[in-house]
């Protein structure tokens, strides 16, 4: 019986943490034993809810037995103890309350991870959730600020490549493929021991010369998007006016 409870507890915890959006974000930010404890925590919550639901069933049977015993006409003169029979009944060698408790735990888990409102967040709900979770992470907080306010980001890679542009999306759900999708405005590299900035491609000038915008046809700025792996980033900051004044934009080449 203990094995059955433990198995349901862990399966429910894993199912919920791998499918509920807000919990999935949290668990992706956890490491080591924290992941196992988080899974076990949610499993315990569902099992506890199953215990409470089973207790409510027992109280309903107790109340029904009391009513039947108080009114002999309803019980044909018999004395009912449905709550006792409920506690002693067994199914496949396991006591009925345990089976019902585990069934309730599974039902609650499936409901919370598939059908509840928190499991079906719309775009605004996802935005609010991501904003809340990104407060604890400087990188994600800055990226969210760029996406929300339209600020330009300055990204320096470990290879000394530089990208300056608009952050379109950022994915942190899977640690092995965390990435940033950027619409570049400028790109270049750091040169020599002094790390002087050299601009190679002036995308913003190209966009202006060819009438390219975020929704232009047949080609939009999204056709020039860059996918940058987070583990390749050395530094990340906002691109401010002071930085812009130090760059010779006329040296930028044609994007490709």
pLDDT at 52: 92
CB contact at 8 A, 201 and 184: yes
User: Start-end ranges of CATH 2.30.30.100 in the chain?
Assistant: 124-251
pLDDT at 72: 65
Long-range Cβ contact pairs of 113-120 (< 8 A, separation 24 or more):
113/15, 113/16, 113/19, 113/20, 114/19, 118/20, 118/21, 118/22, 119/19, 119/20, 119/21
Architecture of domain 124-251: Roll (2.30)
Record the tokens describing residue 7, joined without a space: 């198995």
DSSP assignments along 99-162, one per residue: HHHHHHHHHHHHIIIIISGGGS--HHHHHHHHHHHHTT-HHHHHHHHHHHH--EEEEEETTSEE
Q: Which residues pair with 179 in a beta bridge?
A: 171, 229
Mean pLDDT in each 10-residue stretch from start to end of the chain (256 residues)?
Answer: 79 81 68 78 90 89 79 62 74 76 88 67 61 67 78 88 86 73 88 75 87 85 88 85 56 52
pLDDT at 109: 87
pLDDT at 70: 73
pLDDT at 206: 86
């Amino acid at each position: 019986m203990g094995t059955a409870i433990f198995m349901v507890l862990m399966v429910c915890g894993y199912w919920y943490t791998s499918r509920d959006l807000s919990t999935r974000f949290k668990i992706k930010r956890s490491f080591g034993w924290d992941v196992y404890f988080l899974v076990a925590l949610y499993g315990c919550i569902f099992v506890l809810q199953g215990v409470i639901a089973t207790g409510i069933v027992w109280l309903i049977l107790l109340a029904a037995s009391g009513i039947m015993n108080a009114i002999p006409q309803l019980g044909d003169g018999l004395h009912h103890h449905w709550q006792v029979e409920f506690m002693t009944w067994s199914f496949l060698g396991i006591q009925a309350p345990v089976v019902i408790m585990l069934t309730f735990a599974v039902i609650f888990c499936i409901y919370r991870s598939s059908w509840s409102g928190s499991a079906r967040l719309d775009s605004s709900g996802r935005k609010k959730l991501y904003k809340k979770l990104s407060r604890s992470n400087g990188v994600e907080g800055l990226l969210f600020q760029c996406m929300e306010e339209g600020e330009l980001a300055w990204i320096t890679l470990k290879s000394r490549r530089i990208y300056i542009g608009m952050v379109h999306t950022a994915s942190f759900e899977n640690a092995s493929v965390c990435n940033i999708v950027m619409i570049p405005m400028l790109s270049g590299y750091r040169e020599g021991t002094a790390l002087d900035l050299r601009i190679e491609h002036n995308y913003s000038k190209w966009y202006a010369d060819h009438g390219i915008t975020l929704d232009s046809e047949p080609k939009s700025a999204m056709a020039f998007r860059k996918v940058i792996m987070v583990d390749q980033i050395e530094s990340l900051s906002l691109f401010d006016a002071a930085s812009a004044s130090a760059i010779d934009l006329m040296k930028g080449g044609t994007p490709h």
